[in-house]
Structures are given as structure tokens and as C-alpha cells.
Amino acid sequence: MDKLQKDGYSKFLKDYFETNRELFSSLSKSQKPETMIITCSDSRINPALLLNAQPGELFIARNIGNVVPPYLPIKGSTQAAIEYAVNALSIKRVVILGHSNCGACAHMYHKQSENEPELLHVKEWLKYIIPAKSAAMLEVHANPKQNIFELTEKHNIVTSLQRLMEYPYIQNRLIEDRITLEGWWYDIGTGKVEIYDFSKRDFLSIID
Ligand SMILES: [Zn+2]
């Protein structure tokens, strides 16, 4: 533990933990979150801070590019997290939280270079973002003024939502109205959040 972390941990114990002793005591026995957040591993994204959420409120799965892989009977930590959240914890809402300046989405447009560090697994993982890249390129072809990176980030969120809808147990819950799916795009520089509107097929700002 470096000094920064040690100081941070001491402050947590002294301030936050002390103030919320009862909360932690009840959480020590079980959790009952109602919302699952699937977001990017990016260090700038902190769902609990963004939503002012307490421990126990958000079940979070993180990966490079906030990707939901297709439903396939293969090993996958994101698929296992979704399965556990929905089938064991019975969460009521899944939010795909994407963001601006996402390195995973931008990487789709990088040229291969000889001096590239080893990114074998990253490259394999990023194949899940190819459909979002294709959709963004089509839109930019029609309207070159649009920001291709932001479009890719947003299409990537929509692709993840579509894939979630193909998970059989989520499909069943959607039909029975027992779960809702949401797609959010968070702008790091402004703090703005836009939410995907399924009927308008667009991301709309939630605060004017
Ligand atoms: Zn990202």
C-alpha cells in the first residue's frame, strides 16, 4: 500500500466507516442491490460517485469498453456477473454506462504500429465493438460533421443493450416487465449524462 492509499484508507475508516457503522453492519450479512451497472474499466468512471450511491446499492461489472458480449455458453466474467445479478440477486435494472473519450472505442481507429505494446487480449476483446464502429462509420459517411468517436461510444452502448435482450433469462423478464434496461453516455469533461431513448433511438440529455 503506498502512502496515498494508506492515507485514503485511514480517512475512510475514520470518517465514512464511522459515520455509516450501521449500514456496514447490515451489509456484512447480505446485499440486495436493485441496479446493475456495466461500465468501462476506465479510471475516470466512478458510478457510485456519479450517482451518489451508498455501498450495497450498485452491483457493478467493469470491463474494457463497457461491453456486453453475445450470449454464448462460454467462459466470461461479464456474462457470469450479469447472470448472477439477474438470476441470483433479482436486480430490477441494468444500466450500460458508456463515456466520452473512451480509449476502447478510439482504439478501433488506431493504425497498427510495430512498436505497439502487447495487447493480444485487448485486441481480441475489442472485436465486440466492431458492430458499433461499422454503425458509426455509416452515420459519419452520411453526415461528416459528426464525431465518429462519440458515435462509436453511443452505438457501443446500444449494441450492448441489444445483446442483453438476447440473453434468454433477460428476454423472459422483459416480457414479464420484471426488468428494465438503460443506456447512459457520460461526458467526463462536463458531467453531463445522456440516456438512450428507445422510441426516439437517440441519446437525450436528462438535465437542461
Ligand atoms: Zn472506456
- Assess if residue 11 is contained within a domain: no
Ligand 1 centroid from CA 194, angstroms: 16
Listed as ranges, residues in the chain with pLDDT below 50 are none
Domain region containing 132: 31-205
Residue 4: its pLDDT value, please? 79
Q: How far is the CA of 16 from the centre of ligand 1 (A)?
A: 28
Quote the number of domains for the chain.
1
- pLDDT recorded at residue 208: 67
Q: For the domain that residue 196 is a member of, what is the CATH number?
A: 3.40.1050.10
With beta carbons less than 8 A apart as the criterion, state whether 154 and 203 touch: yes
Tell me how far the alpha carbon of residue 124 lies from the centroid of ligand 1, in angstroms: 16
8 Å CB contact between 13 and 24: no
8 domain-assigned: no
Per-residue pLDDT at 170: 98
In a domain, 159, yes or no: yes
Q: What is the pLDDT of residues 74-93, one digit of tens each?
A: 889 999 999 999 999 999 99
pLDDT tens digit sequence for 163-189: 999 999 999 999 999 999 999 999 999
| Rounded-to-integer distance, Cα 130 and Cα 35, Å | 28
φ, ψ (nearest 5 deg) of residue 34: -105, -15
Which sign does the torsion angle of CA 84, 89, 90, 96 carry? negative
Residue 91 lies in a domain: yes
Q: From ligand 1's centre to the CA of 70, what distance in Å?
A: 19
Q: How many angstroms is it from 88 CA to the middle of ligand 1?
A: 28
